[in-house]
Chains A and B, each alone.
Chain A
Amino acid sequence: MSANRSESERHEAAKRSLSPKRVAAAAGVFVVVLFLDFFLNVILPDSSIRQLLMLAACNVLAALSLNVINGMAGQFSIGHAGFLGIGAYTSAVIASHMHHFFGGGEPSFARSFAIVPACLCASAIVAGFFGFLVGLPSLRLRGDYLAIVTLGFAEIFRLIIATAQADSGNGQSVMGRISAAISSLGGQNGYQGIGNDGIPLYAGPFWVFGLAALLGLVAWRIKFSGWGRALRGLREDEIAAAAVGVDPTRYKVTSFVIAAAGGGIAGGLSAIMRDGLGIVNPDNYNFQTSFDAITMVILGGSGSVTGSAMGGVFVTFTVKAIELLQGSSVVQDLRVSVEWLDLNALRMIVYAMVIIALMIVRPEGLLGERELFGKRRAVQR
């Protein structure tokens, strides 16, 4: 190969990286989310619908991140709620303190450019650190055993938050300080910001939808990078992957860290999103949450980026639809006439039926490992 040709190839490659089409697409998304940030409350006056849409975007991020472990790496984590929760608490605390530091008032769009990135970076780092710790046993454990470790981790996190008490232990000792710090997160009642004023909700549609788009792109590129290919190879056959130089240890732990960091961002975003609840509660991060995340990935098609995203939206709306169904007059009348009817049980039954039906019709999920639209080859020949 002559030097000339590789030079021209390099030139080509540089052009592809910043092609006008890509720049235009990025600018388009930017303008749209910026527009939504200011006008979404005009387009959709009902705040519960706005909340639902933004929640869907957060759930998409949760599904995309879990897909890295459960879909691409072929591990089985049933403790994603732990990472979501860690991210949510981290962002909630940092947002509250920064808000306080800046002097309170209404959360302004300008200020969100300082607060939201700081919160989400911290969420990603803290959750990623715990992902590293949980990922280490994944080298020795597989299948159900690893699942139990992840479940245990998520429950430990939830219970530590929920049961911490300020007056336990001596206030001066290290343990006393730690328990005081944890109990300042509100215990069973949840964290509502400094002075229980509510968590400042800085992440408007600009951040929520913008990050969903951006991190969706990142997830896509991870899957179709050499790294993602090697990870999928590792999933198929660990011995063969090692024999061609793919170090299982490094790839598995890295996949856990990436998934946990993504989960942290998803959780953090949901804690500080506009039209959110302004409170994070340990009960929001129980097994049901992990299970919902798994459902999103499996329904959409594990291993598929677009599938997981679809699963995230689908599950969010299904849960909401069931809630609406519970509130409908027919069901309410039924409840009056049948006293023993438990509406929460009803929700689980409908939810389970949807999943069972889908698993019968399409056991590989909506998309399987395929993607919604074809991927252009990185190289055309």
Chain B
Amino acid sequence: MDLVLSRVAKNFGGLRAVFDVSFTVKKGTIFGLIGPNGAGKTTVFNLITGVYKSDEGSIHFGSHNLGPLKPAQIARAGIARTFQNIRLFSQLTVIENLLVACELQKRAHLAAAILRLPVYYEDENTMHGRAMDLLRVFDLDGVADEPSTSLPYGNQRRLEIARAMMLEPKLLLLDEPAAGMNYGEAEGLKVQIRWLRDTFDLSIVLVEHNMQVVMGVCEDIHVLDHGETIAHGTPEQVRTHPKVIAAYLGEDNSEFNTDGSAA
């Protein structure tokens, strides 16, 4: 299923956070959404996942019109995400974090759980098994029963991805997955992102500042600045695009030259 944004706009009071943004994420691609700080990348994520409602334009995912849907319904439609500032369920253990994410796939509802019907045990068995499989993939199975906040930062990021994968999404939105990672960890992340796409047959949209990761894995890149699209294309096209260079480095280099720091 393709994700199609057409002419999406969002204002916060007088601030134009996103304006006239259109792009299509084709099924199975790894798509990069980049831009300087404050370009509106995370706002776009929040619009896709229904945290914010767009003021103009439309967002479609396959046959679903995401416009009127609530965040939980969008998650059910097969879109999972991670967050820029990690949002784990801090009082819950690592595996419980994953188990919350499959609540909507269960057949056993509250009454069945209270009566401990066979279907409850079947569900718990299946979900627990799936959660452990995912934790093994992300090398977190050893800490399954630890409180989620006791994990080091990088593992918390990976746990967030694992939790998102528990939804069996068709589209995965990763908000700065490489933040705070060193060179080696970022290389590992690149491998994991490709592996996720190939293994689970999904599309991935990546918001990321780490160019090593973006240029390394993305097949299609969309560049925002001040809420507007300034470029779109393959990594090579984007890397050499004059507007992108201007947005990241500044158009006028005279400031750098006067204090000599650009030398």
Contacts and interface: CB of A to CB of B under 8 A. Distances in A.
B2 interface: no
Nearest to B81: A243
A44 to B, nearest CB: 33
Contacts of B128: 378-379, 381
Interface in B95-138: 96-97, 99-101, 103-104, 106, 108-110, 113-125, 127-129, 132
A46 interface: no
Given A222-B114, A229-B103, A245 B76 contact: yes
Contacts of A303: 91
Interface in B71-97: 71-73, 75-76, 80-81, 83, 87-92, 96-97
Given A16-B121, A236-B92, A240-B88, A245 B101 contact: yes
A214 to B, nearest CB: 11
A226 B126 CA distance: 13
A378 B110 contact: no
Interface in A233-272: 233, 235-237, 239-249, 254
Given A240-B89, A243-B80, A379 B125 contact: yes
The secondary-structure label for the interface of chain B is helix
Interface stretch (A5-13, A50-58, A190-198): A5-13
Max chain B Cβ within 10 angstroms of own Cβ: one of A10, A12, A229: A229
B103 A227 contact: yes
B25 interface: no
A100 interface: no
Max chain B Cβ within 10 angstroms of own Cβ: one of A225, A244, A254: A244
A13 B125 contact: yes
A366 B121 CA distance: 31
Given A10-B118, A222-B114, A233-B92, A241 B132 contact: no
**Range, interface on chain A:** 35 or more
Nearest to B125: A379
Interface stretch (B31-39, B161-169, B176-184, B216-224): B161-169
Contacts of B71: 239, 242-243
Nearest to A242: B71
A318 to B, nearest CB: 28
B103 A230 contact: yes
B83 A226 contact: no
B76 A222 contact: no
B70 interface: yes
B203 interface: no
Interface string B47-76: 001110000000000000000001111011
B87 A226 contact: no
Contacts of A233: 89, 92, 96-97, 100
A246 B109 contact: no
Nearest to B100: A233
A221 to B, nearest CB: 5
A137 B124 CA distance: 33
Nearest to B104: A245
Given A245-B75, A245-B103, A225 B110 contact: yes
Max chain B Cβ within 10 angstroms of own Cβ: one of A14, A17, A245, A303: A245
Contact of A226 (B49, B72, B123, B132): B123
A80 interface: no
A9 B81 CA distance: 33
A240 B88 CA distance: 7
Interface pairs A-B: 6 shortest CB-CB: A225-B113, A13-B121, A242-B71, A245-B75, A244-B101, A240-B87
Interface of B: 49-51, 70-73, 75-76, 80-81, 83, 87-92, 96-97, 99-101, 103-104, 106, 108-110, 113-125, 127-129, 132, 163-164, 166-167
Given A241-B100, A243-B71, A378-B124, 6 more contacts: A13-B121, A233-B89, A243-B81, A244-B100, A245-B76, A246-B72
